[in-house]
Amino acid sequence: MEALEVKNTVIWSDRWRLGALSREELMNIGFISVIVGMLFLMFHLLGNTVENVSSRSAFTWMIARWGDKESFGADYSHGFLIPFVSLGIVWYKRAEFFSVTKNVCVVGLYVVVAALVMHWLGAKMQQTRVSLLSLILLIWGVPLYFFGWQVAKLLIFPCAYLIFCVPLNFLDALSGPLQRVATTMGYAAIEGIGIECERVGNMLRSQYFNLNVAAACSGLRSLLAMTALSAVYAYFTQKTFTKKWLLFLSSIPIAVLGNVGRIVSIALVSVTSGQQYATGLHHDWAGYVFFTVSISLMIACGRLLNINYTELVKSWQTKVFSNPS
């Protein structure tokens, strides 16, 4: 059997066996493997130049930040999934990678040099994040040089998506504003559904509950997760560049609304079942409320963006004027 197909999609082909590859293809695979190995060693051995650290590996540093529960790094617990999503997108687009024209692009060499300079600057400044960003640029620049723009264009999103892996500490500054926004909107929503309460700073108080919208409840972690999720959803569901960005940017207010829904759900459970249960078991599982609200809003926004409003208006006009009665 030369190829295995599922719904007209080739899953495996004998053409991909090592024994079926030409000498030139084997040399290319070997050369690419050497480049990948050298990049791995460079960032594994010289990626983290901070003094008095246990590891010089940028990868070890990044993975430690993903699992860090004591600092903002906990907001990047989704980082483990990001590389697999990027690889999945490349696999999904594999037919396009094989079909596009390939040629050497000198611009790619400049990108590679710029990325190496960026890594050097990151090492000198002891900024591991800068080195990791330079690695992402290298992952995109090397195929641009060897295979040309058509291949690199297909890799723009999978490579850019890897940025969600990198813990960017300046985003921690958003925690305070998000905390205040969540408290203000949560207060308005709770009052709007008829539950009397007062706001004191980041506290919401009533005869049923005393809720403290702490920094951990600001929604920053949820915002980062939703932007990562909405980026993939927009990439696959929206056809134009503008619509992709509109849906991606809409993830910010969507995440805020989802977090407000989470706060309101805790208030409602406090009224019906008591604060101890609401701030205990329900609080620990209220993330499902957030994602239910946020994903529903994300899908709704995607559907609204995909509507052909010109055709909709024409259809409406036809129905109205064809039935004057």
Assigned domain for 59 exists:
yes
Assigned domain for 302 exists:
yes
pLDDT by position in tens, the chain (length 325):
445 554 555 555 555 565 566 676 677 677 777 887 888 888 888 777 776 677 788 888 888 888 765 554 456 778 888 999 999 999 999 888 888 888 888 898 899 999 999 988 888 888 888 889 999 999 999 889 888 899 999 999 999 999 998 887 777 777 778 888 888 888 888 888 888 888 888 888 887 778 877 766 666 777 888 889 999 999 999 988 899 999 999 988 888 888 888 888 888 888 888 877 777 777 777 777 778 888 888 999 999 888 877 777 777 777 766 655 5
Assigned domain for 320 exists:
no
Q: Which of 120, 150, 167 marks a domain boundary? A: 167
Q: Which of 141, 167, 193 marks a domain boundary? A: 167
| Domain coverage including residue 155 | 3-167
10 lies in the same domain as 121:
yes
Assigned domain for 210 exists:
yes
Residues 6+ apart with CB under 8 A from 175: 72, 215, 218, 220
Assigned domain for 325 exists:
no
CA dihedral 236→241→242→247, nearest 10 degrees, is 20
Residues 6+ apart with CB under 8 A from 176: 215, 218
Asked if residues 47 and 131 have their Cβ atoms less than 8 Å apart, the reply is yes
Give, for 150, the enclosing helix (H) or strand (E). helix 149-161
Which pLDDT score, from 0 to 100, does residue 94 have? 86
17 lies in the same domain as 136:
yes
Q: Which of 136, 167, 198 marks a domain boundary? A: 167
Asked if residues 135 and 163 have their Cβ atoms less than 8 Å apart, the reply is no
Assigned domain for 181 exists:
yes
Nearest to 155 by CA among 105, 203, 217: 105
93 lies in the same domain as 17:
yes
Assigned domain for 317 exists:
no
Domain count, the chain: 2
User: Is 0.85 surpassed by the pTM of this model?
Assistant: no
Assigned domain for 297 exists:
yes
- Name the burial class of residue 65, with classes exposed (0-12), middle (13-18) and buried (19+) by CB atoms within 10 angstroms of its CB: buried
